[in-house]
Structure 1
C-alpha cells in the first residue's frame, strides 16, 4: 500500500497517472481492436458496432457507482489509518458489483437488444448492432468486479500491476479478434458477433487474473468470497458517493443516444464517421482522466489524513498538467485529424464526417480536462453531487437545443458539433465555480496556491 500523504505531490501524480493512463488506453483498445477488424466489413458494420458500443456508457455509469464510491471511501479510510473500514468497503464493493453484473446481463439481453436496434440508420445496421451487443454483454457485466478491484488498488496507490494485466488481456483480444471476425485459421467467420465475443473472452481472462493476483499486488486488503454477504449499510455508503458519479455517465449515454437519433437521417456514413470519431475522442480523453483518477486517490488519502494544503495543491497540479496535455492534443486535432481516422477507414465520406467532428470538438479539450480535474476532487471529498449538477447543465444546454434543431430540415451537421463544444465549456465553468465553494467548505479558508508546490 502506497502512502500518498507524504512526498512530492507532482511525483505521486505523474507516477500514478502514467500507469493508470496506460491501463485506460489498454482498456479502450478493447473496443478499438473490435472496430479495426469490423471496419473491414463495411460502413453498416462500423455503424452497427458503434451504436451498440454506445451502451458502454450506460454500463460504465452503473460501474462508476461502485468504482467511485469504493475509491473515495477506501482512500479516505487509508488516510485515517482505518484498515477495518477499508477492508469492509472493498468486500461490499465486490458484493454489489456481482449483483449489478448479473442485472446487466438480464437487462442487456432484453431491453438492450431492442434499444440498439432502434438506433440503427437502416435494417442492416440495426441487425449488426444487436449481433455485436449479444456477444459483448458478458464483457460489460464483468466491468463491475474489475472496477471494484481496480478502485481498491488505486486507492491503495497501486497502479503498475493492473496496467500489465490489462495490457495482456488486450493483446489476447487482438489475437482472438481476427480469428473470430474473419474466420482466420478456423474457417468460420463470425463477423461482428465474433468481435464482441473476442472482447468477452479476453475480459473474462483478465478478470480471473485480477482475482488470482490481487493479494500479491497489495498485502493489506484481502479478497475472500466467504465475506461477500451483502451489508446494506455499506452498500448505502458506496451508493451515496457513487450514484451522482453514475448519473454523470447516464447523461453521457443520453447525449450520445440523442446524437445517434438525430443523425440517423443523415445516413450510415455519418453514423460511421461519428462512431469512429467518438471512439477516438474517448482515447484522447484518457490522459486527463488518468490524472484525475490519480488525483482522486491522492486527495482522498490527504483529505482523510486532514492535510488541506496537500489537497489544494493536488487539484492545482492536476488541472495544470491536464491543461498542458489537452493543449497539445488540441493542436493535433486542429492540424491533422485525418491521421487519427485513417487506421479505421479510407471511405472519403466517413473520413470527412469524422475529421470535422474531431476538429470542432477539439475546441473544448482544455475545458474537458478541467471538468475531469474537478470531478476527481469531488470524488476525493466523497461528494460527487456537484459533478452531477454540472453535467445536468450540459445536458440541458445541448440536448434540448439539439432536439429543437433536429425538427428543422435545414440544419448543417456541423451546427450540432459547435453546440456540443459550447455546452462543454459551460460545464467547465460551472464545475470550477462549484469546486471553489466545495473546497472552502471542506478545507476552510486556507491559502490557495497560484503555483502548486511539490510538498
Structure 2
C-alpha cells in the first residue's frame, strides 16, 4: 500500500506514518531487553558483559549499513513525490546494487577483523571468548541487516510503513523463541543468542522480499531500469555514503567511550550494558519520528512544496523536543529500578552504576529530539555533507570526554559523555537547518525564475 504525504496535515501524516515504525522499534527493543534478560538471568553478569562489550562496534557497522540504505531510499521518495515513476525505478535498482556490494564487503571485513576489534575495545579477558563468538556470528548476519533496511526503506519511501512493522514483529517473536531454545534449552550460551538474532533477521528479509515481489509492482524495476546508471548510482551513493558514514563516525566516538568504560572493569561493563538497553528503548520514538520525517521531506521536496517541507520539519522538532523532556524526567526518577530486568538484585553496585548513568542521561534527553529530526531533515533534502559534520562533532565530543575526563573522574565522566555529544550536535544542526532552509528557498526561486 502506497501513500503520498504531499497533501493533508503534515503533523497528522507524520504521526500516522510513524506509529507502525514506533511499534516496530518497540518490538525490536523489547526483544533486545528480553535477550539481555535471558542472557543476564541465565548465564550471569559476565555473559551479559560479553554481549554488551561490543555494542558500540555493532552500532558502527549496523549504523553504517542502515544509513547507507536509508540514503538510497531518499531519491526513491523524491521521485515518487514528483510522480516520476520511471526514474524512481531506476533508483530502486541502483540502491539494490549498492546494498549487494556493501553487504558482501562489510561481512568479509568485519568477520576477519573480530580479534583486532575486541582488543581495540579493551575487552576483559574474562569475557573475551564469549564476546568473540557473539560478535563473529552477528557479523555473519550483516547481509540480512542490509537488505531488511533497504527493502524497508524503499517501502517507506512510497508511504508503506506497516509492512516493515509486520516483518519486524514476526522476526522479534521468532527471535525470543529461539533465544529461549538456544540458551535455556540446548545451552549454546552467547553463541546461541547471536545465532537466534541472525536467523530472525533473515526471516524478516524473506517476508519483505516476498511482499515486494507479490504485492508491490510499483517497486519492480523493468528491463529498461535493470542496468547500471552511472549518474543515478553516484547520486544514490552521494546521499547514502555520507548518511552511513555519519552513523559510523558517531559510533567511533561511542567505541572510544565504551573502551574507556570497559577499562574500568566488568562491574561497569555490566552496568553500561544494562543501561544501554533501557536507553535504546527510550530512543524508539526518536527513531520512528526521524524515519517519518525522511519520507515526508523526501516526497514533499520532490514535489517542490518548500513551504510545506519547512512547516513539517518544525512541527516534528517540537514533538521530538517535548517527548525528550518527558522521557528524561522518567529516566531521572525511574531509571534505576528498571535495571532489575537484566541484573540480579544482589548485584547492588551494578544496579547503582546503571541507575546513575540513566539519571544523568535524563537531564539532556531533549537534545536528541532536536538532533534527530533536524539531521534527518537536512539529509533528506540532499545536504548529507552538512549533516555529516554533526556526526563528526559528536565523535570529537565523545573522544575528548572519554580520553581526557574518564581517567580523572572514572564512571562519573562516562555518565556525561553522551550528553556532551548530543548538545554539541544539536547546536550545530539547528544552525545548519536554518541555513539549509534559506538554500532550498533560494533554489526554488531560481528554478521558478528560469520558467518565467
Q: TM-score, normalised by structure 1?
A: 0.91
- SS of the residue aligned with 1:124? coil
CA distance in 2 between partners of 1:265 and 1:90 (Å) = 45
Shift of 1:216: 4.8
CA distance in 2 between partners of 1:334 and 1:217 (Å) = 46
CA distance in 2 between partners of 1:322 and 1:307 (Å) = 23
Structure 1 segment 303-452 matched on structure 2, within 5 A: 303-346=301-344, 347-406=347-406, 408=407, 410-444=408-442
Kept in 2: contact 1:5–1:301 (CA 8 A): yes
Kept in 1: contact 2:69–2:99 (CA 8 A): no
Shift of 1:401: 3.9
Match of residue 178 from structure 2: 176
CA shift in 2, pair 1:233/1:62, >3 Å: farther
CA distance in 2 between partners of 1:421 and 1:225 (Å) = 50
1:398-442 alpha-carbon deviations (Å, 9 max, x no partner): 312421234x4x424112322432332121111100010001111
Shift of 1:108: 2.1
1:357-390 alpha-carbon deviations (Å, 9 max, x no partner): 1111122211111101111211220121222112
CA distance in 2 between partners of 1:260 and 1:419 (Å) = 10
Structure 1 segment 92-107 matched on structure 2, within 5 A: 92-107=94-109
Shift of 1:91: 1.5
CA distance in 2 between partners of 1:154 and 1:273 (Å) = 36
CA distance in 1 between partners of 2:36 and 2:194 (Å) = 10
1:244-292 alpha-carbon deviations (Å, 9 max, x no partner): 2112211232122112221223210101111221232122111022111
1:297 paired residue among 295, 298, 302: 295
Structure 1 unmatched ranges of 5 or more: 447-455
CA distance in 2 between partners of 1:142 and 1:113 (Å) = 22
Match of residue 81 from structure 2: 79
CA distance in 1 between partners of 2:216 and 2:325 (Å) = 36
Kept in 1: contact 2:378–2:384 (CA 8 A): yes
Structure 1 segment 127-146 matched on structure 2, within 5 A: 127-146=129-148
Shift of 1:314: 0.7
Structure 2 unmatched ranges of 5 or more: 445-452
Structure 1 segment 131-210 matched on structure 2, within 5 A: 131-182=133-184, 184=185, 188-210=186-208
CA shift in 2, pair 1:439/1:49, >3 Å: same
Match of residue 46 from structure 1: 48
- SS of the residue aligned with 2:365? helix
Q: TM-score, normalised by structure 2?
A: 0.92
Kept in 1: contact 2:73–2:95 (CA 8 A): no
Count how many residue pairs are aligned between Structure 1 and Structure 2. 440
- SS of the residue aligned with 1:382? coil
1:111 paired residue among 100, 113, 118: 113
